[in-house]
Chains A and B, each alone.
Chain A
Amino acid sequence: MTDNGHLSGEFFINGDVACAEGAISAGCRFFAGYPITPATEIAERMSRRLPVVGGTYIQMEDEIASMNAILGASWAGVKSMTSTSGPGFSLMMENIGLGVMLETPCVVVDIQRAGPSTGLPTLVGQQDVMQARWGSHGSYEIIALSPDSPQHMFDLTVKAFNLSEKYRVPVLIMSDEVVGHMSEKVVIPEISAADLIYRKMPQIGSGPYHPYKADESLVPPMAIAGQGYRFHVTGLTHDESGYPAMTAAAQDRLITRLVDKIKTHADDIILYDEYMTDDAEIVVCAYGITSRIARYAVKLARQQGIKAGFLQLITLWPFAERRVRELASRVKTFIVPEINRGQIVYEVERCSCGKARSLSVPHSGGDVHKPETILAAIKECHA
Chain B
Amino acid sequence: MPDHEGNGHSIIAKYLRQDRLPHIWCPACGIGPALNCFLRAIDKSGLDPDKISVISGIGCSGRVAGYVKLDSFHTTHGRAIPFATGLKLANPELKAVVFSGDGDLAAIGGNHLIHAARRNVDMTVICINNFNYGMTGGQVGPTAPYDVRTSTTPYGNFESPFNLPLLLYASGATYIARWTVLHLHQLENTMTEALLKPGFSFVEVISPCPAVYGRMNKEPEGLDSLKSYEKRSIIKNGADPKDVGITQNGPIIVGKFIDVDRPTLHTNLAVVAERAKKQVKNS
Contacts and interface: CB of A to CB of B under 8 A. Distances in A.
Interface of A: 29-30, 32, 48, 51-52, 54, 56, 58, 60-62, 64-78, 80, 94-95, 98, 102, 224-236, 243-244
A308 to B, nearest CB: 47
Contact of B50 (A56, A226, A244): A226
B255 to A, nearest CB: 30
Is chain B's binding surface mostly helix, strand, loop or mixed?
A: helix
A95 B76 contact: yes
Given A56-B269, A225-B71, A226-B94, A76 B111 contact: no
B50 A227 contact: yes
A243 B272 CA distance: 40
A230 B76 contact: no
Interface string B32-56: 0000000000000000011101010
B72 A69 contact: no
Interface of B: 17, 20, 49-51, 53, 55, 65-66, 69-76, 79, 81-91, 93-94, 111-112, 115, 269, 272-273, 276-277, 280
Contact of B87 (A58, A94, A225, A244): A225
B108 to A, nearest CB: 10
Contacts of B272: 51
A235 B267 CA distance: 32
A76 B86 contact: yes
A68 B76 contact: yes
B5 to A, nearest CB: 17
Contacts of A61: 82, 111-112, 115
B86 to A, nearest CB: 3
A229 B71 contact: yes
B50 A228 contact: yes
B90 A30 contact: yes
Contacts of A77: 90-91
A73 B74 contact: no
A74 B89 CA distance: 11
Given A73-B90, A229-B71, 12 more contacts: A61-B115, A64-B82, A65-B85, A72-B73, A77-B90, A77-B91, A94-B76, A225-B91, A225-B94, A232-B73, A233-B72, A235-B76
Contacts of A54: 273
Contacts of A58: 85, 89
A226 B83 contact: no
A225 B53 contact: yes
A76 B70 CA distance: 14
B73 A75 contact: yes
Nearest to B115: A61
Contact of B89 (A66, A67, A69): A69
A98 B76 CA distance: 7
Nearest to A233: B73
A72 B83 CA distance: 4
B83 A52 contact: no
Contacts of B76: 68, 94-95, 98, 235
A244 B66 contact: yes
Nearest to B94: A226
Contacts of B82: 32, 60-61, 64-69, 72
Contacts of B71: 225-226, 229-232
B93 A226 contact: yes
B115 A234 contact: no
11 contacts: A54-B273, A58-B89, A62-B111, A69-B82, A72-B55, A72-B73, A75-B73, A225-B87, A225-B91, A230-B50, A233-B73
Contacts of B84: 72
Contact of A68 (B53, B75, B90, B94): B75
Contacts of B85: 58, 60, 65, 68-69, 72
A80 B90 CA distance: 9
Contacts of B280: 52
A230 to B, nearest CB: 5
B120 to A, nearest CB: 13
Nearest to A95: B76
Contacts of A226: 50-51, 53, 71, 91, 93-94
A231 B20 CA distance: 13
A74 B53 CA distance: 14
Contact of A73 (B89, B111, B273, B277): B89
A46 B87 CA distance: 18
B74 A80 contact: no
A98 B50 contact: no
B86 A68 contact: yes
Contacts of B49: 230
A232 B75 contact: no
A51 B53 contact: no
